[in-house]
Structure 1
Amino acid sequence: MKKNIIILFVLLHQSFFAQSQTKIIDMHIHSYTDSDFGDREPSQDYYGKKGSKDAESHRIETFAAFEKFNIVKAMVSGNPESVENWVAKDDDHRIIRGILMFSPNDHEMDSVKFEQMVKDKKIEVFGETAPYYGGTTLSDSIWQPYLRICEKYDIPVAVHTGGGDPGGTYSWSPKARLKLGDPYLIEDVLVKYPKLRIYMMHAGGEDWPEHAIRLMAYYPQLYTDLAVMLWVEPNTQRYVKEFLQNIKEAGYLNRVMFGSDQMTWPYAIEKSINFLNSLDFLTEQDKEDIFYNNAARFLKLKE
């Protein structure tokens, strides 16, 4: 009898959490057009899972995940054409327009064009910015015109931290170097633009999770997402588990946001959610904050 009561309590507890976790914000989604679909990602992930077959299938499958898991907002980055294609088909107004840039002149961009896109609300988050892949850092002079515009218009910035895909240096990102992913390399940006809303992607990756925590301790405006660390392979999951334990103990969990970084594998959204929910050292409130509340505060969303 006592055993049955305990089981019932556990089931009710799980049911309550499932109902209370009503909203999710995904701060790290990628979009593609047919012209760039699969250019950067391998044909299958670590687990042998193949990605979507093409750009439109990927969008449809990702939108289905949004619906299934009540993802009410998603920061989507890709080339501008792909992002606008997603927005045009987004009847539920979930998409927050981002832009994927490895170098400051990607998409034939310059500061004049960039500022006009910001004014036209074609860019709502400057990111994913990934200087790592282009052989630079966000602190380099070539990125400063964009950052000044972001601070001027209060546009959040999302910057890649940590490494990249193994072997990428030998193929599509020849200028990438592991040392460029160190979160400490964005410190000059934090000093120069104290009003800038900025978040790290991947929480420093496998290499510098402690650097990410130390940087957040020094700069209270700095947030982070978790992204690919939640699902891509067991080793990244090990690191992000340790990161979450450490940052909770340090007292900065209120600036950690959910992101899936599903790339061409929309199933990674569910996998990321399930892994985060499986961490028993996080309370229900911790999870609610990571899934929604912290990002809502960062984005200045109005209910």
Structure 2
Amino acid sequence: DFALCSCGSAVEVDHDQNPIPDEDQVTQHDNNERMLRLVRQHAKRIGAFMWIKPRLESCDQDFEDMIASNRDIIYGIKVHPYHSKMAFNSEKVQDYIRLAKKYDLPVVSHTSNDYESSPQLVYEMALKYPDVNFVMCHMGLATDNQEAIELIAKLPNLYGDTAWVRADMVYQAIKICGS
């Protein structure tokens, strides 16, 4: 019994795409530090995905140091393009992808029907970075999942996550992509 988690307290925009006010922003560092403290207490049961803030912050030395010093409990980097209001293929996100490559970590991204989170952009980055594993969370939330399934089937470093995916589409994904 093992769970992987990320902490979304550091979203950059709300559900309506309005910026979170400065006084309510949680820094990338503070957000991940809080999560890592929790995970460290339960390391045999929980692993961490590092949450990023590419719109307001950067893939800086502090972020890399957090990964390096907690590599035993960090299992990947989490991107939420919708709540960052930044396209998955942006240069700022690619800085984090390159860091993931350095530490042999997968990049896990929310995917949905908006441009920033589109499965197509995750696919393009998986093509560009073949040595990095990518996971499409929700396989295109609020879609029929067909595009995501077809894209996942094309690349060995692209995977699907079935949270919020209908059971019939999970079965179809397994049939087409394998288990």
Q: Normalization by structure 1: what TM-score?
A: 0.47
The question of whether the paired residues in 1 share the 8 Å contact of 2:104 and 2:132 is answered with yes
Q: Residues 150 and 157 of structure 1 are in contact (CA less than 8 Å); yes or no, is this contact kept in structure 2?
A: yes
Q: Which has the larger share of helix?
A: 1
Structure 2 counterpart of 1:152, one-letter code: K
Asked if 1:157 corresponds to 2:107, the answer is yes
Whose strand proportion is higher, 1 or 2? 2
User: Which residue number corresponds to residue 114 of structure 1?
Assistant: 63
1:162–1:206 CA contact under 8 A, matched in 2? yes
Partner of 1:210: 146
User: Is this contact kept in 2: 1:137–1:186, CA < 8 A?
Assistant: no
The SS at the match of 2:112 is coil
Corresponding residue number in structure 2 for 1:243: 169
Partner of 2:25 in structure 1? none
Letter of the structure 1 residue corresponding to residue 167 of structure 2: K
SS of aligned partner of 1:159? strand
Residue 185 of structure 1, CA deviation: 1.5
Aligned pairs for 1:87-106 within 5 A:
87-90=39-42, 93-101=44-52, 103-104=53-54
Cα-to-partner distance string for 1:231-255 (whole Å, 9 max, x where unaligned): xxxxxxxx522211212332x241x
Q: Which has the larger radius of gyration?
A: 1
Give the root-mean-square deviation of aligned CA atoms.
2.8
Alignment of 1:73-222 (within 5 A): 79-90=31-42, 93-101=44-52, 103-104=53-54, 108-121=57-70, 124-162=74-112, 178-222=114-158
* Cα deviation digits, residues 8-57 of structure 1 (max 9, x gap): xxxxxxxxxxxxxxxx4444x35477xx7xxx79xxxxxxxxxxxxxxxx
- Quote how far apart the aligned CAs of 1:208 are: 4.9
Question: Structure 1 104/208 Cα, relative in aligned 2: closer, same or farther at 3 Å?
Answer: farther
Give, as a single letter, the amino acid of the residue that structure 1 aligns with 2:116.
Answer: L
CA shift, 1:196, in A, is: 0.1
Q: CA deviation at 1:131?
A: 1.4
- State the distance in 2 between where 1:222 and 1:104 align: 22
**How far apart are the structure 2 equivalents of 1:162 and 1:214?**
15
Asked whether the equivalents of residues 125 and 157 of structure 1 are also in contact (C-alpha less than 8 Å), the reply is no
How many aligned residue pairs are there? 162
- After the TM superposition, which parts of structure 1 deviate over 4 Å for at least 4 consecutive aligned residues? 30-33
Query: Any conservation in 2 of the 1:162–1:208 contact (CA below 8 Å)?
Result: no
User: Which consecutive unaligned segments of at least 5 residues does structure 2 have?
Assistant: 16-29
Structure 1 pair 195–32 and aligned structure 2 pair: CA distance change class (3 A): closer
